C-alpha cells in the first residue's frame, strides 16, 4: 500500500503516519513544512519538507513519489491551521485569507497533484480532514469554520467529478482531538479523544470509504 499524508509532522497527521507505519509493507510519503524523521517511523517512509500553499512544490512531490513508488492508494490531505478571529475587525481579514490558503487551497492542490495518476490506474482514495466546525459558524472562529465548510463543499464537488473513475473521496470531520492546536483552547471540549484514537477511527472510516465521517460520532449530535 502507498500512502501520502500532508501535515504529517504533528497532531492528527503525525498520529496517522504512525498508524499506517505499523504495516511494514506500506510505503509512506510524509509531507510537512518541517522535515519529518521518516526513518524513525518506517524503513519505507520518505519525507518531503513542503508547504501545501506552494503549488509547484506539491506538484514536484507528486511527480517524485509516483516516479519512484507508483500512484498512491491513499492521499490524506490533513495539513491545516487554526486561529481565532473577529468578523468586526479588519485584522481578521488577513487571518481569514491565510486559513483559506492553507486549509482549502492547500487541500485542493494536494488532491490535484496526485489525482491524475490515481485516475490513470482507476483506483485509490482521496481523504480530506475537515472538521465539525464546518457545520456551524462559531463565535471567534469564523475563519476556521468558513475554511472547513469550504473543504466539505469542495470535496462533495470533487466526489461528483470523480464518479466512475475508480477513485473514492472521503471527507473526515473530527471533533475535539487532543493535539497542539486544541491544547490552547480554554473552554470545555466535549468528547475529547487522543490523536492516536482519532487516527484509528479515521483509518477505519477511510477503509470503509465513508463519504462523510464524524470522529467521534457523538460530535455529530453536538454539532
Residue 164 gets the label, from left (phi > 0), alpha (psi -120 to 50) or beta, of: left
By C-alpha distance, which of 15, 14, 7 is closest to 31? 7
Residues 19, 48, 144, 176: which is the catalytic one?
Answer: 144
Can 48 be counted among the known catalytic residues? Answer: no
- Asked if 111 and 153 count as a contact pair (C-beta separation under 8 A), the reply is no
Residue 124 gets the label, from left (phi > 0), alpha (psi -120 to 50) or beta, of: left
Cβ atoms within 10 Å, residue 140: 13
By C-alpha distance, which of 7, 5, 76 is closest to 45? 5
Q: What share of the chain is helix, strand, coil (3-state, %, to 5)?
A: 45, 20, 35
Alpha helices, DSSP H only, in 31-100?
Answer: 38-41, 55-69, 91-99
Catalytic site positions: 144
Amino acid at each position: 500500500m502507498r500512502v501520502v499524508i500532508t501535515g504529517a509532522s504533528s497532531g492528527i497527521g503525525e498520529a496517522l503516519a504512525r498508524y499506517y507505519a505499523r504495516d511494514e509493507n506500506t510505503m509512506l510519503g510524509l509531507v510537512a513544512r518541517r522535515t519529518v524523521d521518516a526513518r524513525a517511523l518506517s524503513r519505507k517512509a520518505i519525507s518531503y519538507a513542503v508547504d501545501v500553499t506552494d503549488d509547484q512544490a506539491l506538484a514536484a512531490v507528486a511527480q517524485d513519489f509516483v516516479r519512484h513508488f507508483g500512484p498512491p492508494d491513499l492521499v490524506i490531505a490533513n495539513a491545516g491551521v487554526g486561529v481565532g478571529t473577529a468578523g468586526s475587525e479588519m485584522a481578521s481579514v488577513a487571518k481569514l485569507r491565510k486559513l483559506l490558503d492553507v486549509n482549502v487551497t492547500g487541500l485542493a492542490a494536494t488532491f490535484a497533484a496526485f489525482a491524475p495518476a490515481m485516475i490513470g490506474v482507476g483506483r485509490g482514495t482521496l481523504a480530506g480532514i475537515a472538521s465539525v466546525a464546518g457545520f456551524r459558524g462559531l463565535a471567534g472562529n469564523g475563519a476556521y469554520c468558513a475554511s472547513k465548510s469550504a473543504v466539505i463543499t469542495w470535496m462533495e464537488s470533487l466526489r461528483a467529478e470523480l464518479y466512475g473513475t475508480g477513485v473514492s473521496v472521503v471527507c473526515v470531520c473530527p471533533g475535539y482531538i487532543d493535539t497542539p492546536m486544541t491544547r490552547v483552547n480554554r473552554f470545555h471540549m466535549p468528547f475529547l479523544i487522543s490523536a492516536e484514537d482519532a487516527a484509528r477511527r479515521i483509518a477505519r472510516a477511510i477503509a470503509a470509504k465513508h463519504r462523510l465521517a464524524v470522529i467521534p460520532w457523538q460530535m455529530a449530535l453536538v454539532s
